[in-house]
Amino acid sequence: MQVRLIDLIGVLSRALDLVSRTLGKHHAHVGCMAARIAGRMELSPVMQRDVLLAGMLHDAGAVALHINLESLGFEADIHTHARAGQLLFGNFSGLESVAAIIGEHHTSWAHLADSGMENELALAAAIVNLVDFVDVRLDRTKPYDGQFARVLEAAQREAGGKFNPDCVNVFRDMVAEPDSLSGLFAPEECLCTDAHEQLETIVLNAWEVLGLCGLFAQVIDFRSRFTATHSRGVAIVAQDLARLFNFDVDDRHAMYVAGLLHDIGKLAVPSRLLEKPGKLEEDEFLAVQDHAVVGEYILGGVPGLEKVCEWGTQHHERLDGSGYPLGRSADQLSLGSRIMQVADVFTAITEDRPYRDGMNAEQTANVLRAQVDKGALDPEVVQVLMTHLDDINETRMREQRRAKQEFEAFAEAVHHASLSEIEDNLSSVCIAGGA
């Protein structure tokens, strides 16, 4: 399982862009435009790549924190979500600079210039800060090119304080050139650097793919307190079942990644529906069902993730044709898809949720056998799971305990980062007051 770095980052970037319909393709816009500015400012090839990736991921922290992105409501807590994004990606080898850029993408240039941060890294953060400012001020219902002069004027008023003056000047030059910002009309086609090396096209190995997708699963699951560890549970159960069915190592890796990403389409589902305490209305249920179609849109067409897409996005299909989104029947569902369906149901009914405890072994067996009797779940897959129930369930609980610990550590780290930011702001006020 080998996937290009830019293609895998594009998976999460597309998902993030679906969280807020108000800011359609925002992360693609910021990545595209930031890469153009970084190229014109002749940043190193490595830093051009990191600016591109940071632009594509810069608001991941806001999603993980369950901050409302609609109508720019998240801007009231800009530093907390920036630090959260830095915490999400900071421990992944190779993304340290990307994480640092994300962490500072709302920090003013005046502060960055005095912070002691390495010059090129500070400039990279300043580029994403400016481009983010520009893009959220573009009205999606009107032609972009007629709006650039107005946005440029707003940026120029903040040059030297909020924004790096050289970045603003480069943006000014781009506004003056008719075609320099045309990439915003099809940003997905311009998610590349201008550097000859194009380091964003490097191919990741299976372990790197697994690691990055583990981070993606955190963004997906952290969005709802009801399912904060669900994807990790599904992933480990599906992988165990794949091993018992003698899948080779590559396919077991693909199965684990499919479990991590099977609910990625839920990023497009409003949080109020994911956490609604009562029964969903018919139209609400249909909106939730859409996550399977959205997942296929996000994962489809990514070279190296073909099986991940098939197995992950068919987790709500059923052998009797009663599932969704397409009502596929048994002859249209591979063994990998059938395993994922059983793994998802098993994890959902056995894991603890804030509003109820997970089912015990007897209850679990009754539910799964009832689904087999209906013709919904594969009898052979369910039988293998039941034969190894204790071992698989113990593995699931261990994996989900680990995921819960990571979730709690992340929340605690964000809390401390937020307090530190408040203290810094208070200190600045006190110094200004004393002066």
Contacts of 419 (CB under 8 A, 6+ apart): none
In a domain, 418, yes or no: no
How many domains is the chain partitioned into structurally?
Answer: 2
In a domain, 311, yes or no: yes
Q: Which two tokens stand for residue 404?
A: 């819960």
pLDDT 10s digits, 375-397: 999 999 999 999 999 999 999 99
Same domain as 241, residue 164: no
Same domain as 374, residue 322: yes
pLDDT 10s digits, 338-378: 999 999 999 999 998 777 889 999 999 999 999 999 999 99
In a domain, 432, yes or no: no
| Local confidence band at 22 (pLDDT 50, 70, 90 cut-offs) | confident
Same domain as 189, residue 253: no
Comparison of pLDDT for 108 and 62, the residue scoring more = 108
In a domain, 352, yes or no: yes
Same domain as 216, residue 112: no
The residues carrying an active-site annotation are 266
Alpha helices by DSSP H, listed for 275-388, are 282-299, 306-313, 335-350, 361-374, 379-387
Q: What is the mean pLDDT of residues 16-45?
A: 92
Same domain as 304, residue 286: yes
Question: In this structure, what CATH number is given to the domain that contains residue 271?
Answer: 1.10.3210.10
- Of the chain, the end-to-end C-alpha distance in Å amounts to 60
- Residue written as tokens 């506004």? 175
In a domain, 213, yes or no: yes
Same domain as 180, residue 43: yes
In a domain, 435, yes or no: no
414 pLDDT exceeds 90? no
Same domain as 222, residue 194: no
Report the pLDDT value the prediction gives residue 11, as an integer from 0 to 100: 96
User: Of 154, 171, 204, which residue sits at a domain end?
Assistant: 204
Same domain as 141, residue 267: no
Report the pLDDT value the prediction gives residue 433, as an integer from 0 to 100: 33
pLDDT 10s digits, 157-190: 999 999 999 999 999 999 999 788 888 888 888 9
Backbone angles phi, psi at 373, to 5 degrees: -60, -35
Helix (H) or strand (E) holding 43: none
Contacts of 191 (CB under 8 A, 6+ apart): 6, 10, 13, 28, 31, 32, 35, 52, 56, 200
Same domain as 332, residue 279: yes
Same domain as 219, residue 148: no
- Write out the residue range of the structural domain in which residue 361 sits: 207-409
Comparison of pLDDT for 70 and 247, the residue scoring more = 247
